[in-house]
Structure 1
Amino acid sequence: MATAISKGASTDVIRQLALESGMVTLLGYSLELVRRGETTLEEVGRMVLTDSRDWNPSAEPAPSAQ
């Protein structure tokens, strides 16, 4: 990742490399906490999602990929 950064890679490329290296996004970790019952979707929306256009806690959840 350091090489990509030093070569001026785009933020998208750096983010993808970080994800491939095991990085967990704040949203991803927050949703894991919801799954464990340690927080609520409303709290995640309030603290993590900054653009209200992207957040609708009353919207029907997407089907799980099982």
Structure 2
Amino acid sequence: MTTKHRHSFWHLWGGPLVMGVLTAVGLVSALFSDGGLGDAVAWVALGVPVGVCIWYGWRPRQSSSQPH
């Protein structure tokens, strides 16, 4: 695997993998925690993906200069 190929893999899949890991950690923490630090971890780990989705959902679309 070349460096360019490895770079393009992380460029494409890095964000979704981080979001998936954060979501999994948040869900497991919420399931097994009984208050305190576990709840805080769950809130943060589940809040970050929601915040990212809201951010990208409300961003103005970039218009392309090419006609359809």
Whether these two folds match at TM > 0.5 is no
Bigger helix fraction: 2
Q: TM range, normalised to the smaller chain?
A: 0.3 to 0.5
The TM-score normalised by the length of structure 1 is: 0.34
Which of structures 1 and 2 has the bigger CA Rg?
A: 2
